[in-house]
Amino acid sequence: MKRALVNGAGGFIGSHLVRRLRREGYWVRGVDVKHPEFSESTAQEFLVGDLRDPKVAEAAVDGIDDVYQLAADMGGAGYIFTGEHDACVMHNSATINLNTVEAGRNAGVKRFFYSSSACIYPERNQMDPDNPNCVEESAYPAAPDSEYGWEKLFSERLYMAYARNYGLEVHIARFHNIFGPQGTWRGGREKAPAAICRKVAEAPDGGEIEIWGDGRQTRSFLYIDECLEGVRRLMESKFQGPVNIGSEEMVTINQLAEMAMRIAGKQLRLRHIPGPLGVRGRNSDNRLIRKELGWAPTAPLEDGLRSTYEWVNLQVHTKDAAVAGTVK
């Protein structure tokens, strides 16, 4: 039985990845500073530990064939773009990656997956909301708009350097806004789809919800199942990347909110307020993934948003019911 390690297995993508690998027949060890928030991990072994500690990173890779490195100090725009967390984001995530790749090399791990981000792309190519350029080679000359993006770029290069100098097999994906059930939906680290689903679920019909900025900034959002399909296909390929794993269905934030309202069957007004925004426009460019893997995500955004809305709606109303004392 092949043995896989998922670093960040207590997080959103990591906990789903553990389930997927188990379904494929892997023996899985998960590592994280915390257990998954919304369901029990399905990993055969779950180490609660801090990967900034080299000893934890060493214990994590012991006896492992494939490493999936997803642990990072991250969050949505409310966490990354305010500047308040810059030093932590850079120090924590870089240390996790330095420890993981070095421990993996020493333990003889052969294959590594590293989760980079669309946040590495230069701001100058993402000023026009209708025509953002996120083709992989546009990453250089580098100019990410956040320290989170700079750390991701550094770590991409770290894994590629280990591949060059030590012969490791490395696969790097740049994720574009992954969303789905069992993701953070409140507390400041949630991303736009979960935040909008929560606001729509909480608002009374005919009420209003707040949107950061003018809502005309564009993004694409990829449902978790297709993200994992891309990760597994990339890992089984000969292609190192970095390659985008994202959707090409670009929408404005206002359109995303309207879609959520349609799903919920509610009419709400949008109130635009100042807030941390990130770039004006961003979309995945899937030409490279199509060429290299003969595959790219195709599922409509609305399908994924529907299952996400249903799940967030349940969280919101279970919470309300619990507060009201109707749910034990």
Q: Are 309 and 197 in contact (CB under 8 A)?
A: yes
Kindly name the residue from 114, 121, 148, 159 that is annotated as catalytic. 148
- Per the annotation, the verdict on 309 as an active-site residue is no
Element (H, E) at 171: strand 169-175
Residue span binding ligand NAD (CB under 6 A) among the ranges 22-30, 172-180, 272-280, 284-292: 172-180
Q: How many CB atoms lie within 10 A of CB 141?
A: 7
Helix ranges (H only) for the chain are 12-23, 54-61, 77-80, 86-107, 147-166, 192-202, 224-236, 253-264, 287-293, 301-323
Please give the residues from 98 up to 137 whose contact with ligand NAD meets the rule CB under 6 A: 115, 117
Q: Are strands 208-212 and 27-32 parallel, antiparallel or unpaired?
A: unpaired
- Residue with the CB atom nearest ligand NAD in the bound state: 11
| Cα–Cα distance measured from residue 206 to residue 179, given in angstroms and rounded to the nearest whole number | 27
- Could you tell me the smallest distance in angstroms from the CB atom of residue 103 to ligand NAD? 13
Q: Which is nearer to ligand NAD, 194 or 263 (CB)?
A: 194
Sites for ligand NAD among residues 23-42 (CB under 6 A): 32-34
Among 46, 175, 223, 311, binds ligand NAD (CB under 6 A): 175
Give the span between the Cα atoms of 203 and 128, in whole angstroms: 32
Q: Verify binding: residue 149, ligand NAD, rule CB under 6 A.
A: no
What are the CA-CA distances from residue 153 to residues 117, 128, 140, 271 (Å)?
A: 8, 23, 10, 35
Q: Binding residue for ligand NAD (CB under 6 A) from 4, 6, 13, 296? A: 13
- Minimum distance from residue 253 beta carbon to ligand NAD (Å): 15
Query: For binding to ligand NAD (CB under 6 A), which residues are involved?
Result: 8, 10-14, 32-34, 50-52, 70-74, 92, 96, 115, 117, 175, 177-178, 191
List the catalytic residues.
148
